[in-house]
Amino acid sequence: MRLAALLVLSVAVSACTGLGPEPAAGPWPSTSTLDESPEAEPLFTGRKAVHYRNAYRICTVFTRRELAKQYGVAPKPKLVARTQARRQHARAFRPAAYRGCLDAFQNREPRA
C-alpha cells in the first residue's frame, strides 16, 4: 500500500511541475557545491524549492530501506537519495531533490 502511495505521489509531483523523469546522463553534481550548514539560508528557490520539498516529503514518509527496496539499490542514504532524484525528477531539479531527500534521511529541518 505504501509503495502505491509513492507512485501516486510521484505522478502528482510530475503533474504539478509539468515535468517527468528523464534518463540519467552526464556526471552527477558534486555535493561539495551544496552548503552543509544547517543554519544556512534556503538552498533553493522557485521551482527547485518545490522539488526539494517534494523529495523531502517522500523521503520522510517512506524509510530509506523501503525506498532502497523499491529502487533496487543498497539502503545507503546518499545512494537512495540520488536514485530517488534521478528517477523522479527532471535533470535540472535533481540536485534540489537529492538534497531534500538526504536532509529528510538525516532528520534535518527542511531548508527550502
With a cut of 80, say whether residue 8 has pLDDT above it: no
Using one digit for the tens of pLDDT, what is the confidence trace for 79-102? 999 999 999 999 999 999 999 999
Is the CB of residue 51 less than 8 Å from the CB of residue 93?
A: yes
User: Mean pLDDT for the chain?
Assistant: 79
